[in-house]
Structure 1
Amino acid sequence: KQKDNTFTYKACIKFKPSITDEGEEFICRVEHPSLKEPVEKSTGPLTIEGASKQPEMYAVIPPSEKQDTLLHRAQDVSMTDPAVILPPTDQLRFVVGKIQGPRRWIHGEKVALYISLSYCSEDNRVMWMVEKTNGKVEEISNNGGVLLTDSGYTISKESEESDKEGLFNITSSLTFVSSVSIHSQVTFACKITSDGQTKTMKFQPESIYAKPQALGPVKTSLCDNGDVLCSLNLQTFYPRDVELSWRSGEDKLESREKYEENNDGTFNGNSDCTVPGKLLLNPNFTLHVTWNHKSLDGQQSQVLSWRDPGLSWCPVIEEVPIPHVLIERQNTLQYNISGYFPGDVAVSWYRKEKGAQEYIPLSQDKRYQIPDIQSQRQSDLTYSCTARLLFTPTVRDRESEIMCRVSHPSLERPIERGSGPLQVQAKPKIRKSLKLSLGTRKVTFCHILESFYPKHIQIEWHYWSGEKLKQRCQSQEKYTTALNKTVTVESKCGVSEDLLQSPDFRVRVTWRHESLDEEEYKEFSIKDKGQRCTSL
């Protein structure tokens, strides 16, 4: 077990070769939970020289790269070098294996290089170095990068006694985070000194990559010509070459790519694809963008559909309230529909009777008029319209409900808005002027309001003379209901005829009804040549 909690293992097999072993080979197979498949190391075909009696030989499989049991990364377990055929143990001295490590590096990921030394003297020295592209070789410090500060190099050295007294087996590792800008085209070397001898081993990766990272989902924006611009942004990849393709269904779409180089040597790329607006008329519209890169094990993709937040042009419905739904008059129920794209929107109307469970579709007739929808382009390039239903209700429509249903390709199911139970009303109508009738020392005023609905109405009488305060007068009301359920009321109020002796005498009748925005009244004065109805 190493200081970084990973493990190193050395496998060795002892055998006596004979002439019959000519051409045979030894294979060492390693299995580990981090590996999808076992990895193997072979000695290659053996070449046997001399007589059949040969000294004992060792086939030493260099320690595989440390197996990171914490990260379970398969690329951290590799066996890339051939086995080392060693002479008999009495001849073994200062055996140096090759530097081992992953041949394919990923920008920003941890890399570990290892070297195994056998039968070294106690007085030994291991030094790691880096050879830059300009040919300059510099020693790597163990304190985390005096020369290459962004990489944070860590060097470890483990020593154990070998099977030969006085000699040691040593494993040294160099770990760091790979960087495109720092490690492209560089060569690592390990210089080992033991018993006055010096050996140097070198290592250079086959490639270093940086995986493209998608900067969020595909972004969309509307174009003046009715098309949709879709953009994908890929960040920090290396090398620059990346394969990008766009399609909708089976139709391949053209795209335009732009690249820029970052300070760390990686690249950013942006791909724009203009999608014809007519394609979005299909409720099952989907847009696929796919990219592939040398750093990836397989292609990656994003899919955009009407169900994704990227296409947020669903219709928004706002009701325009009706102050009063008046019977025997044409009323307008309307909804403002906005924020949708494309401009094709369908509106249908339905009605449900009081107490009924189902809505029945409405069509154009004498009672109901449905104007055509006219979509208008707005400053944000979406569309809006107003859906209207013109209808003439009767008293029988009280507490019935009307529903507006809006369909659009962006909607998984139509949006519905209901009026709620309709509170139909009829405004009171004045029948002629106030009537006066004389009695014994008493004058009776009569006022008739007709054809209103519902029945509840509040009527009050007041009289006054000059600057005197108003006096309320008791009244009596008589109601009658017509065949169409509207109501007529006759209200009477009596006052002493002595009050009419004053030239300033006045009498007022006031009524309030839910169909009215304000109360209304009518006044009588002996000076008036006629009566009038005035709104307060």
Structure 2
Amino acid sequence: KIEDEEPPTVTLGSDVILPCTFSVGQPVSLQYLAILWTFQNKMLFRLDNKGKQLSPRVTFSDADAMKGIASVQLHNVSVMDAGVYMCKIIYGPEKKEKDITLKVQSLPTVELLERVTNEQSMIVCSVSRFYPKNITVTIIQEGKDVTSSTLSSYQQNPDGTFNLSRTLTLEDAMKQISMSCRVQHESLAEPIKKDLLLLHGGADESNNAVVFGVVGACAVLLVIVIGIVYCKYSRKKGLEKFTMGDIQGPPVWIDGEKLTLYCTASSCPQDAKVSWMLKAQDGTMSEFSEAGTGEAEEEQPLISREYIVSKEKTTRPQKNGLCDYSSTFCFIPSASRHLGSSVSCKFVCGGKTQEKAFQFKAIQAKPRFIEPISISLCDSGNVQLLATLERFYPKEGIKVTWRCNKEKPPETNAPMDELITHPDNTFTVRSKYEIPGDQFKDPDFKVCVSWNHDSMEKAESREVSVKDFPWCPTMDDIPLQSERENNKLRLSCNISNYFPDALTVSWFGKKKGSQELFPVTGSDIYVIQKPQSERGTNYTYKCKACLVLPLPESTEQEMEYICRVGHPSLKEPIQGGTGPVQRYDLGEKQSFIVHDIQGPQRWQEGEKVTLYGTALYCKKDVQVTWIVTERDGTIREIPDVTKDTEEKLGANDYVACRERSDDSDREGLIDITTSLSFTASVSRHKSMSLNCKFVCDGKSSEKLFQYKDLCAKPKHLKPIEFSLLENGEVLCSLSLQQFYPKTMQISWGAGVPPSYDKMESAEEVTDSGLTYDLLSKCRIPGRLLRDPDFTVRASWKHEFMSDWESTQLSLRDPDK
């Protein structure tokens, strides 16, 4: 939305602000903002994410754009500047326009004279240099308008203002009275009034008047002659010498943000040329000429395309053909290249040369925060937080502060800041902060790091809580294990990889045919063993939750049991179930029981998978067959064999093995455990089905196993490839092959180790049938490779990879 503003009015030769304010309903982002001012279908000013362009006599404050102010200031206003200006605001896909009418006024100069000739006397009221044209000029005698006066025609001056006069011829009777001239104009708060007292008498007095009139006329003629000579001299001088204004631009440069310097020259012939010079700290001088010299862009030196010079001409209204010029110099400053440098601008007009220098006060690089805050565990039980701020300058202006949201903060060691100096003159700070891990048992506990730097308008911050921890509890499947005494079952669930030690475990039961859960608590029927947390090698915790329950004696007693786990790092509790606990028919000795197949739910291409099947109360002649239906429909039946007769088959084939055979708590019966091992393959096992079939005493029972996920890690078969583009950029390519499923994250970085700047990239994923291939491309400026230590690094993470993997390449690598 563009706000309504009062139309501005300005006096000729003054400065005026053309108002335009807007709002977007949120903080303004310069990435999506464009501001355009036009006048008489010509662009007056433009600001967008590519930079800033402005006409002579126009200035704009970049900081105002962030505040919703798009107003521009027009200097030394002339008559030709009056009219309708259009302010256009573009924010993202939306755009709004507003017309602003500028009124220009020039105050009239009034003179009241008496002219005496041999024949008559006249009163002349002369009004000069007024604008706009409409004006009222009246001669007054004794409070009354004199209607016999004559009004001249309007005369327009070269600057667009007007002159006008009103004349009254005097009669003898009017020569002894007071006369007045009154002028009314819209630029005046009240009319101007000039008085003249006439004191004419007899012949001697008339003769004296004639004498004085002649003398006065001679004086006026002399003034006119002097004025003509001065004007001719000034015009000739203007043709010989032009004037050049000081270079305008921000005194503080920000690393990585586009910068525009501009300079003006007045009273130039139309053949003016402009060039900008950049002098480096080591004394190296580079010169850049205006764009449009006829060279194709790809033929220009690479450094010239990094610095853009433009020139704009404004024809002046005088007839001498002189022009005013403005020139802009655009580039992106860098602490590594521009520290201690200076800029100058040179105009050549009519064979004459003028040059102005510009020395900025400072160059600053804003610190870039490496997302997110790094979290690690210490042997002491503390949590170490690491905030990294990279590539800032100067180092003295950085301040990092840690705090927590408790009234009484915990006792901790002071933060440790490590400062790293880079070859490009920038700095990186790594701020470490340790805090007791038990503090994070409170889900509302937060730690905040904030930082500020001379280059930043305001401080920034990030927060971390237990919700950001990567150590969330995971649960294994709940196998059914039989206790040999008192016909009871033990349900156990392994829980691991959690921190801090603040786990809650609850058991629930669900009756057969019902969806309603009821809590299971310790009683004569159920025994709940409290989990005991143990710390693992990676400093996270693990435990085992156990529930002991009696065997169901009828189908009506069959139930499903669920273990629910809560932790401060979880948004919602996680849970796992047993499935229906089958009836144990204690009276029928020939019946046997088959449990669900146990094994990993996530398979990875090329890794070994082992599944287990268990049956209770079997006769010794029990037969077990694993049945696999592969992706292409091939059915494979694999009978299990004892470990003594196990055959060693190929890595991609199946091996079924009788793992255990133990006496049951029923006389003459056994409990067995069988396994099936094979190497997972997307081509064979995608959408497969797998069953384990037990045959005992003429009866058979099968269990189906269905995995949750099958993945293939990406293969990185060749290094990063470099190729040179026509525009001087270097194209970096990374190829990853044969992964599944499709989701993949790619990150590019470039810089001098150990610090890398994040680079944008484009990815192309192709379907190769069962798996996917990816080609990632990243463009970098060719000038960066002038440093032999400059390194390009590509990292990738597949959804089933536990951590990122990466590769890198520099000019120092062999075979580059």
- Range into which the TM-score falls when normalised by the shorter chain: 0.5 to 0.7
Contact 2:15 2:74 in 1 (8 A): no
Pick from 256, 270, 275 the counterpart of residue 435 of structure 2.
275
1:352 is aligned to 2:510: yes
Q: Structure 2 CA distance, aligned partners of 1:150 and 1:290?
A: 40
Q: Structure 1 residues 82 and 181 mapped into 2: Cα distance closer, same or farther (>3 Å)?
A: farther
1:362 is aligned to 2:520: yes
Q: Which residue does the alignment assign to 2:208?
A: none
Contact 1:249 1:286 in 2 (8 A): yes
Q: 3-state DSSP class of the match of 1:181?
A: helix
Pick from 329, 337, 354 the counterpart of residue 174 of structure 1.
329
| AA matched with 1:118 | S
Q: Structure 2 CA distance, aligned partners of 1:534 and 1:317?
A: 33
Pick from 467, 471, 489 the counterpart of residue 307 of structure 1.
467
**Per-residue CA distance 1:31-88 (angstroms, 9 max, x = gap):** 467999xxxxxxxxxxxxxxxxxxxxxxxxxxx9963246577755999999679998
Q: Structure 1 residues 122 and 346 mapped into 2: Cα distance closer, same or farther (>3 Å)?
A: closer
Contact 1:353 1:400 in 2 (8 A): yes
1:316 is aligned to 2:304: no
Contact 1:94 1:119 in 2 (8 A): yes
Q: Which residue does the alignment assign to 2:307?
A: 153
**Per-residue CA distance 1:420-446 (angstroms, 9 max, x = gap):** 22112134577xxxxxxxxxxxxxxxx
Q: 3-state DSSP class of the match of 1:419?
A: strand
Q: Structure 1 CA distance, aligned partners of 2:73 and 2:511?
A: 86
Q: Structure 1 residues 31 and 100 mapped into 2: Cα distance closer, same or farther (>3 Å)?
A: farther
Contact 1:94 1:194 in 2 (8 A): yes
| Superposition deviation, residue 357 in structure 1 | 4.8
Pick from 406, 420, 445 the counterpart of residue 285 of structure 1.
445
Q: Structure 1 residues 65 and 230 mapped into 2: Cα distance closer, same or farther (>3 Å)?
A: farther
Q: Which residue does the alignment assign to 1:239?
A: 394
- Which deviates more, 65-74 or 166-175? 65-74
Larger radius of gyration: 1
Q: Structure 1 residues 35 and 417 mapped into 2: Cα distance closer, same or farther (>3 Å)?
A: closer
Q: Which residue does the alignment assign to 2:541?
A: 383
Contact 2:467 2:568 in 1 (8 A): no
Q: 3-state DSSP class of the match of 1:166?
A: coil
| Superposition deviation, residue 238 in structure 1 | 1.4
Q: Structure 1 CA distance, aligned partners of 2:335 and 2:438?
A: 44
- Which deviates more, 381-390 or 262-271? 262-271
Q: Structure 1 CA distance, aligned partners of 2:251 and 2:50?
A: 18
| Superposition deviation, residue 326 in structure 1 | 8.7
| Superposition deviation, residue 202 in structure 1 | 1.9
- Which deviates more, 128-137 or 170-179? 128-137
Pick from 70, 88, 106 the counterpart of residue 254 of structure 2.
106
Q: Which residue does the alignment assign to 2:560?
A: 401
Q: 3-state DSSP class of the match of 1:67?
A: strand
- Which deviates more, 181-190 or 326-335? 326-335
Q: Structure 2 CA distance, aligned partners of 1:386 and 1:368?
A: 17
Q: Which residue does the alignment assign to 1:330?
A: 488
Contact 2:619 2:669 in 1 (8 A): no
What is the TM-score normalised by the length of structure 1? Answer: 0.64
Q: Which residue does the alignment assign to 1:517?
A: 618
The equivalences for 1:419-498 within 5 A come to: 419-427=578-586
Contact 1:246 1:290 in 2 (8 A): yes
Contact 2:592 2:617 in 1 (8 A): no
Q: Which residue does the alignment assign to 1:206?
A: 361
Q: 3-state DSSP class of the match of 2:451?
A: strand
1:189 is aligned to 2:168: no
Q: Which residue does the alignment assign to 2:762?
A: none
Q: Structure 2 CA distance, aligned partners of 1:304 and 1:150?
A: 45
| Superposition deviation, residue 356 in structure 1 | 4.7
| Superposition deviation, residue 226 in structure 1 | 0.7
Contact 1:65 1:101 in 2 (8 A): no
| Superposition deviation, residue 124 in structure 1 | 3.9
Contact 1:100 1:114 in 2 (8 A): yes
Q: Structure 1 residues 413 and 166 mapped into 2: Cα distance closer, same or farther (>3 Å)?
A: closer
Q: Structure 2 CA distance, aligned partners of 1:130 and 1:356?
A: 81
Q: Structure 1 residues 82 and 363 mapped into 2: Cα distance closer, same or farther (>3 Å)?
A: closer
Q: Structure 1 CA distance, aligned partners of 2:415 and 2:325?
A: 56
Q: Structure 1 residues 282 and 156 mapped into 2: Cα distance closer, same or farther (>3 Å)?
A: same
Q: Structure 2 CA distance, aligned partners of 1:34 and 1:72?
A: 20
**Per-residue CA distance 1:213-248 (angstroms, 9 max, x = gap):** 122211111100111111111221112231211222
- Which deviates more, 321-330 or 386-395? 321-330
1:249 is aligned to 2:405: yes
What is the TM-score normalised by the length of structure 2? Answer: 0.43
Q: Structure 1 residues 31 and 101 mapped into 2: Cα distance closer, same or farther (>3 Å)?
A: farther
Q: Which residue does the alignment assign to 1:412?
A: 571
| Superposition deviation, residue 264 in structure 1 | 2.1
Q: Structure 1 CA distance, aligned partners of 2:418 and 2:545?
A: 44
| Superposition deviation, residue 365 in structure 1 | 2.8
1:373 is aligned to 2:531: yes
| Superposition deviation, residue 333 in structure 1 | 0.6
Q: Structure 2 CA distance, aligned partners of 1:166 and 1:265?
A: 50
Q: 3-state DSSP class of the match of 2:46?
A: coil
> Structure 1: any 5+ residue segments left out of the alignment?
1-10, 16-25, 37-63, 431-448, 455-513, 522-531
Q: Which residue does the alignment assign to 1:29?
A: 17
| Superposition deviation, residue 154 in structure 1 | 2.2
Q: 3-state DSSP class of the match of 1:188?
A: strand
| Superposition deviation, residue 281 in structure 1 | 0.8
Pick from 93, 110, 118 the counterpart of residue 266 of structure 2.
118
Contact 1:66 1:76 in 2 (8 A): no
Q: 3-state DSSP class of the match of 1:395?
A: coil
| Superposition deviation, residue 30 in structure 1 | 4.2
Over aligned residues, Cα RMSD in angstroms?
4.2
Contact 2:528 2:546 in 1 (8 A): yes
**Per-residue CA distance 1:395-424 (angstroms, 9 max, x = gap):** 156322222222222222322222222112
**Per-residue CA distance 1:133-162 (angstroms, 9 max, x = gap):** 466766446699999949822222233432
| Superposition deviation, residue 292 in structure 1 | 1.3
Q: Which structure carries more relative contact order (alpha carbon 8 Å, separation 6+)? A: 1
Q: 3-state DSSP class of the match of 1:370?
A: strand
Q: Which residue does the alignment assign to 1:49?
A: none
> Structure 2: any 5+ residue segments left out of the alignment?
1-8, 25-42, 53-59, 65-70, 79-229, 594-614, 623-666, 671-695, 697-816
- Between the two proteins, the alignment pairs up a number of residues equal to 399
| AA matched with 1:96 | M
| AA matched with 1:339 | N
Q: 3-state DSSP class of the match of 2:47?
A: coil
Q: Which residue does the alignment assign to 1:501?
A: none
| Superposition deviation, residue 132 in structure 1 | 4.1
Contact 2:387 2:431 in 1 (8 A): yes
Q: 3-state DSSP class of the match of 1:420?
A: strand
Contact 1:287 1:303 in 2 (8 A): yes
Pick from 368, 372, 375 the counterpart of residue 217 of structure 1.
372
| Superposition deviation, residue 519 in structure 1 | 5.3
**Per-residue CA distance 1:254-297 (angstroms, 9 max, x = gap):** 42111222222222221111121011111223222211122222
| AA matched with 1:121 | P
- Aligned-residue sequence identity (percent) comes to 30
